[in-house]
């Protein structure tokens, strides 16, 4: 790196010019070495107001040589202007001032520069040296010392500056890194927020798709229902020919329009169940919605004048409730029906049964459009929020029904399989918890059996009592009890706040203690159940 030359300034009186020139010559080796720069000398223009002007070079010089002589001290400019300026810069560390005694000066020791290092050595004025060259040589040595010190100082300063620059650079790099890290963090946060948004949107979409899918499945099931009903009825286990049920009394009042409608519609759901001297009514589920049956006036008349109890069920659930046509007419019979009749009778009421899809049962109760539901329904916590339940009257287990030899025994074994469940049943809820399963919710149990046989689903989750009946009627199927799942007991459901549980529960208790319930369990689900015997 090219070094800045050391600038030397001569401050002297005009009268001493010859001595100044000699000194100049003595310093020429330093000039030649490229250490000090061209001399600066003030150029005083005759008559100019120079008192005001201080030479520009005087203000920038690194070394100021004061050539002391009586004339210097006498000169107003040298003594009163340049000397104080030089001393000021020396004290401020901006320049090195080197006083050189050219000639003897009376009392110089009391002048301001006397405290500085004076040359020649011993403060012997140049003109008093016996050999003038020696004197200038001595002065030259002194100036060299000053130059060396200056160079050292410069070196130090440069080092300090470099260190400072390095520090600043390090600081900048650090700040850049921090800024970069901050930006990266910001970008990361933005990315995460974006991802979260996308995820939320995807989930919403997924939910919507699932809802659409479900709606579509319900629609399809609905559409196939009519077509399958005929076939399904053939595969349902044959109904027992009511050996213990009192014969259904003759139809007293056919609603002609309803009957015709029903016949026209084919095999929609059908109801006919009567206790005592009651009027028989027919409701076709294909007429819904709106549901045709009426509630017992918001349950109020129940405690008073009304004589009928309206039960809703899904008669697709042998042997809890299913349609029996063996007698030539269609009738809903089963375990639940027997219990309902018993309870109605005990309470001096007639019973009307309405057959609707399982998924509609709770909404119908909730809307108080039926007095109670018996449908092998399990009192789950979710349902308890919407409806009230009686005591449990029957405990059952869940099973996996599949083609013979499929050997599906655990929930785990259903992973990756297409599995049927009844829409709205607890089996659907249980199946939803099995990871990796593809659910096929269907409206009717019969449909599930059809789907398995046709190979459109690989299995179905069905209660054991039901499974037994279906297996008996379809030897190409098998079932396995799922040990790990929750028990699937059945209870009677009522609209929330209904007074009926208080009337029903004591009868259920009575049936438990007097053996009636046991008898009905044997009749409908027992090994020697005539229904099962007939089926196998
Ligand atoms: N126990 C199961 C449930 O409560 C299934 C009942 C199905 N009943 C019927 N009649 N299909 O969800």
Q: What is 6-162's CATH number, 3.40.50.10140, 3.40.50.1000, 3.40.50.300, 3.40.630.30?
A: 3.40.50.10140
Q: What is the DSSP letter of 6?
A: B
8 Å CB contact between 41 and 186: no
Cα–Cα distance for residue pair 411/423, rounded to 1 Å: 18
Which numbered atom of ligand 1 lies nearest the CA of 375?
10
8 Å CB contact between 430 and 416: no
Centre of ligand 1 from the C-alpha of residue 373, in Å: 11
Residue 334 beta carbon below 6 angstroms from any ligand 1 atom: no
pTM surpassing 0.95?
A: no
Which numbered atom of ligand 1 lies nearest the CA of 444?
11
Cα–Cα distance for residue pair 465/320, rounded to 1 Å: 8
Q: Determine what percent of the chain falls in helix, strand and coil, rounding each to the nearest 5.
A: 50, 15, 35
Pairing of strands 96-101, 63-68: parallel
Residue 428 beta carbon below 6 angstroms from any ligand 1 atom: no
Give the residue, out of 376, 382, 441, with the most ligand 1 atoms within 8 A of its beta carbon, to mutate for a pocket test: 376
Domains 6-162 and 308-394+491-535 belong to one CATH topology: no
Phi, psi of 183 (to 5 degrees): -65, -45
Residue bearing the CA closest to ligand 1, atom 12: 425
Residue 399 beta carbon below 6 angstroms from any ligand 1 atom: no
Give the residue, out of 375, 462, 463, 491, with the most ligand 1 atoms within 8 A of its beta carbon, to mutate for a pocket test: 375
Centre of ligand 1 from the C-alpha of residue 335, in Å: 13
Q: Walk along the chain (536 residues) and give the pLDDT tens digit of each residue.
A: 556 789 999 999 989 999 999 999 999 888 888 888 756 566 555 444 455 456 678 888 999 999 999 999 999 888 998 999 999 999 999 999 999 999 999 999 999 999 999 999 999 999 999 999 999 999 999 999 999 998 998 899 999 999 999 999 999 999 999 999 999 999 999 999 989 988 888 888 788 788 878 877 887 777 777 777 777 766 766 554 433 333 333 222 233 333 223 322 223 333 333 333 232 333 333 333 334 444 444 443 333 346 899 999 999 988 899 999 888 888 999 999 999 999 999 999 999 999 999 999 999 998 888 999 999 999 988 899 999 999 999 988 889 999 999 999 988 899 999 999 998 888 888 888 888 999 999 988 888 999 999 999 999 999 887 888 888 889 999 999 987 556 568 999 999 999 999 999 999 999 999 999 989 988 887 655 545 444 43
Centre of ligand 1 from the C-alpha of residue 400, in Å: 15
Residue 332, both tokens: 């809903």
Residue bearing the CA closest to ligand 1, atom 11: 317
Residue 322 beta carbon below 6 angstroms from any ligand 1 atom: no
Residue 425 beta carbon below 6 angstroms from any ligand 1 atom: yes
Which numbered atom of ligand 1 lies nearest the CA of 396?
1
Neighbour count for residue 103 (Cβ, 10 Å): 17
Give the residue, out of 370, 395, 425, with the most ligand 1 atoms within 8 A of its beta carbon, to mutate for a pocket test: 425
Nearest one of 94, 40, 33, 45 to 65, comparing CA atoms: 40
Q: What is the DSSP letter of 76?
A: I
Which numbered atom of ligand 1 lies nearest the CA of 425?
12
CA atoms 402, 407, 409, 415: torsion sign: negative
- DSSP SS3 for 131: coil
Task: Give me the CATH code for the 397-487 domain, please.
Answer: 3.40.190.10
Residue 373 beta carbon below 6 angstroms from any ligand 1 atom: no
Residue 176 burial by CB count (10 A; 0-12/13-18/19+): exposed, middle or buried?
exposed
Give the residue, out of 314, 339, 357, 358, with the most ligand 1 atoms within 8 A of its beta carbon, to mutate for a pocket test: 358
Task: Give me the CATH code for the 308-394+491-535 domain, please.
Answer: 3.40.190.10
Residue 268 beta carbon below 6 angstroms from any ligand 1 atom: no
Cα–Cα distance for residue pair 400/466, rounded to 1 Å: 11
Residue 317 beta carbon below 6 angstroms from any ligand 1 atom: yes
Listed by start position, the domains of the chain span 6-162, 185-232+248-291, 308-394+491-535, 397-487
């Amino acid at each position: 790196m090219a070094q800045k030359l050391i600038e030397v300034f001569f401050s002297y009186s005009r009268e001493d010019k010859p001595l100044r020139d000699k000194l100049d010559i003595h310093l020429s080796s330093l000039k030649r070495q490229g250490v000090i720069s061209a001399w600066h000398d003030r150029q005083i223009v005759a008559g100019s107001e120079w008192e005001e002007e201080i030479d520009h070079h005087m203000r920038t010089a690194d070394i100021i040589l004061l050539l002391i002589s009586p004339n210097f001290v006498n000169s107003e400019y040298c003594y009163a202007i340049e000397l104080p300026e030089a001393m000021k810069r020396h004290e401020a560390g901006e320049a090195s001032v080197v006083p050189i005694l050219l000639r003897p000066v009376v009392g110089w020791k009391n002048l301001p520069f006397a405290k500085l290092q004076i040359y020649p050595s011993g403060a012997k004025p140049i003109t008093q040296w016996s050999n003038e060259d020696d004197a200038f040589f001595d002065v030259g040595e002194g100036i060299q010392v000053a130059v060396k010190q200056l160079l050292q100082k410069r070196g130090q300063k440069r080092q300090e500056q470099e260190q400072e620059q390095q520090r600043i650079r390090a600081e900048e790099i650090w700040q850049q890194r921090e800024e970069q890290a901050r930006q990266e963090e910001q970008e990361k946060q933005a990315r995460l927020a974006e991802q979260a948004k996308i995820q939320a949107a995807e989930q919403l979409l997924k939910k919507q798709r699932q809802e659409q899918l479900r709606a579509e499945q319900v629609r399809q099931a609905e559409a196939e229902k009519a077509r399958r009903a005929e076939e399904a009825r053939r595969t349902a286990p044959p109904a027992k020919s009511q050996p213990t049920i009192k014969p259904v009394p003759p139809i007293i009042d056919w609603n002609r329009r309803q009957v015709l409608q029903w016949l026209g519609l084919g095999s929609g759901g059908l109801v006919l169940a009567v206790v005592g001297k009651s009027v028989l009514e027919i409701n076709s589920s294909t007429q819904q919605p709106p549901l045709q049956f009426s509630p017992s006036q918001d349950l109020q008349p129940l405690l008073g004048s009304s004589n009928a109890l309206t039960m809703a069920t899904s008669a697709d659930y042998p042997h809890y409730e299913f349609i029996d046509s063996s007698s030539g007419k269609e009738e809903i019979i089963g375990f639940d029906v027997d219990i309902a009749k018993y309870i109605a009778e005990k309470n001096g009421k007639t019973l009307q049964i309405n057959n609707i899809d399982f998924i509609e049962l709770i909404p119908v109760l909730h809307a108080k459009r039926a007095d109670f539901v018996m449908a092998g329904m399990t009192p789950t916590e979710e349902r308890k929020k919407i409806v009230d339940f009686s005591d449990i009257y029957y405990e059952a287990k869940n099973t996996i029904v599949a083609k013979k030899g499929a050997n599906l025994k655990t929930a785990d074994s259903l992973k990756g399989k297409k599995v049927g469940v009844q829409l709205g049943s607890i089996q659907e809820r249980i199946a939803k918890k099995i990871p990796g399963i593809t659910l096929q919710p269907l409206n009717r149990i019969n449909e599930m059996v059809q789907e398995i046989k046709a190979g459109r689903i690989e299995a179905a989750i069905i209660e054991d009592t039901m499974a037994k009946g279906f297996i008996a009627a379809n030897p190409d199927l098998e079932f396995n009890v799922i040990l790990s799942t929750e028990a699937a007991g059945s209870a009677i459901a009522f609209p929330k706040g209904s007074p009926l549980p208080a009337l029903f529960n004591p009868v259920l208790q009575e049936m438990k203690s007097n053996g009636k319930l046991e008898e009905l369990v044997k009749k409908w689900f027992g090994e020697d159940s005539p229904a099962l015997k007939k089926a196998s």
